[in-house]
A and B are shown apart, each in its own frame.
Chain A
Amino acid sequence: MEDNILVIHPRDNVAVALRTLAAGEEATGKEVAGFPALEEIPASHKIALRDIGAGEEIIKYGETIAVSTREIKKGGWVHTHNLESRRWKK
């Protein structure tokens, strides 16, 4: 099966959807065992690679890009509804 997610850095806890994934669709990428997307993940948005607790750092590019505001399950959509910037709060 063709990859539909991309893990940019080994430390990352999120991956980038290479195309829109439907809810329930299997997400697959290099060195990632397939797992289902829990909801629709729009193209180029982020999907959780593992369970992320509330207040945990969101890691992409191997660096902290935000902090989660609630629990996010593996396969969940990670975006502005469940994270916040440490810098400029929107």
Chain B
Amino acid sequence: MNEITGYERKTGSIGIRNHVLVLPTVSCVNGVINRISREVPEAVCVPHAHGCGRGGLRDVQILFRILSGLVHNPNVAAVVLVGLGCEVSNTKNLYPLIKEAGKPVEVFNVQEDGGSLLTAKKGAAAARRLLAEVHTQRRVSLSWDKLLVSMECGGSDAMSGVTANVALGALSDWLVGKGATVIFGENTEMIGTAHVLARRAKNEQVARQVEQMIERAEKLSKDIMGNLASRVISPGNMDGGMSTIAEKSMGCIFKGGSSTINQVVDYGEMPTERGLILQDGPGYDGDSMAGLAASGSQLMFFSTGRGTPAGFPTLPVIKVASNSRIYEAMKDDMDINAGSLVEGKPLDKVRAEMIDLMIRVINGEKTKAEANGMDVFTFMTVHPPF
């Protein structure tokens, strides 16, 4: 059974999940979101730490892009938007951006809807209503070119770049061959590989964007860490056999495979090209995942060697262990064991195993992170709050 299916949205995009998202505009109303979550556990509630207190243009841009990007994500069917009233990303400012997604949206504001308890009650009722509504939707056939798959790595070890990311790279190439789009970010983990990635860019312009993105990441690392910037490759990395930042980064970028790089997008920005896409986003897992989800990714592969349980609220995240030890030690969190590569299993067998699981997950089977509810939602900021 190789057919893949999903839920069609009004804009023509197709989700592989049919979530009702309960989204706060600002951290002040997280308690309301938590109450809704307890009353309606089937709804996907995403409390977060943002929404106000940062006035810089770049931070405001990221804030609006990530919140509206989550709504636009094809895996989201309908939305309960809960605001406070006086925040930067208030519902009035945010609504025009999310309306374009063409999804049912119900809007509440704690300052106008009778305070926290009453708003939670109204929000929970709306979530139940929307769940009943989207429940009637049936899956339709999904073509691979409607799929945006993200590749992430975190809690890496020395084997990540040898097993798991090599397996992800083989899968990336397979997906691009099928007409799907593959995206990966984590610009700090591209430092030292600008020449390699730029060479694979589809044209001069994209090549320059790749180089500039990595140059900025390198400069930022040096500005923030000073002399310690060389620790981006840590003593632990070196004990594990890594010798230079270029060696470490090569292992990271392997997860995108070897296709032509067709576009560089900003953090949380939606690609307009297909094939392999790079995102100018940070290496920190939580922030990176949010950026990839806001870009419209429906599914994520996530390699790990030290072992992290992190998933994302609206995306199935498939965990790929880089070694058999961590696969066994964290069996409840790991979906695939790429450590089997060093035990003699051929790469095409591991890739076939990943494709099999991927098709089942696209069609509705829960990943470990999904089943365990290991949701992480946090995103990047540039400046501290004031």
Q: Which residues of A contact B (CB under 8 A)?
A: 2-3, 6, 8, 16-18, 42-46, 58, 60-61, 63-66, 78-80, 83-88, 90
Count residues on chain B whose CB falls below 8 Å from chain A CBs: 26
A46 touching B244, Cβ below 8 Å: no
* 30 interchain pairs, CB-CB under 8 A: A2-B344, A8-B162, A8-B166, A16-B162, A17-B241, A43-B158, A43-B241, A44-B240, A44-B241, A46-B241, A61-B161, A61-B251, A63-B196, A63-B250, A64-B246, A66-B246, A66-B247, A79-B238, A79-B241, A79-B243, A80-B238, A80-B243, A83-B243, A85-B245, A85-B246, A86-B244, A87-B246, A88-B229, A88-B244, A90-B230
Binary interface encoding of chain B residues 327-347 relative to chain A, with 1 for a CB under 8 A from any of its CBs, else 0? 000000000000001101000
Closest residue of B by beta carbon distance from A19: B342
Give the CA-CA distance A18 to B345 in the complex, in Å: 13
> B327 to chain A: closest CB distance in Å?
16
Enumerate chain B residues within 8 angstroms of A64, measured Cβ to Cβ: 246
Candidate in B192, B193, B246, B341 with the most chain A CB atoms within 10 angstroms: B246
| Interchain CB contact under 8 A, B243 and A65 | yes
Contact A61 B250 (CB under 8 A): yes
CA distance A66 to B246 in the complex (A): 8
| Contact among B191, B192, B238, B250 for A60, CB-based, below 8 A | B250
Contact A6/B162 with A79-B241, A83-B244, A87-B245 known, Cβ cut-off 8 Å: yes
Q: Interface majority SS on A: helix, strand, loop or mixed?
A: loop
Question: A6-B342, A61-B250 are known contacts. Are A66 and B162 too (CB-CB below 8 A)?
Answer: no
Residue from A8, A58, A61, A80 having most chain B Cβ neighbours under 10 A: A61
The proximity string for B residues 137-162 relative to A, scoring 1 for CB distances below 8 Å and 0 otherwise, is 00000000000000000000111011
A44 B162 Cβ-Cβ under 8 A: yes
Chain B, Cβ-Cβ closest to A5: B342
Interface contact A61-B254, CB-CB below 8 Å: yes
Q: Which residues on the A side are within 8 Å of B238 (C-beta)?
A: 79-80
* B residues neighboring A (CB under 8 Å): 157-159, 161-162, 166, 191-193, 196, 229-230, 238, 240-241, 243-247, 250-251, 254, 341-342, 344
The complex places the Cα of A72 from the Cα of B250 at a distance, in Å, of: 22
- The residue on B at minimum CB distance from A82 is B243
A17 to B158, CA, bound (A): 11
A27 to chain B, nearest CB (A): 14
Q: A44-B162, A60-B247 are in contact. List 4 more A-B contacts (CB 8 A).
A: A6-B342, A65-B244, A85-B246, A90-B230
Query: CB distance A65 to B230 under 8 Å?
Result: no
Closest to B251 in A: A61
How far apart are B66's CB and chain A's nearest CB, in angstroms? 32
Name the 5 nearest CB pairs between A and B, nearest first.
A44-B158, A45-B241, A85-B244, A65-B247, A44-B241
Question: Which residue of chain B has its CB nearest to the CB of A3?
Answer: B344
Please, which residue of chain A has its CB at the minimum distance from the CB of B230?
A88
Name the residue on B nearest A4 (C-beta): B342
A86 and B195 CA atoms in complex are apart in Å by 13
- Find chain A residues with CB under 8 A from B161 CB: 61
Q: Which residue, of A18, A46, A63, has the highest number of chain B Cβ atoms within 10 A?
A: A63
Q: Assess whether A63 is in contact with B162, with CB atoms less than 8 Å apart.
A: no
**B250 with A65: CB separation less than 8 A:** yes
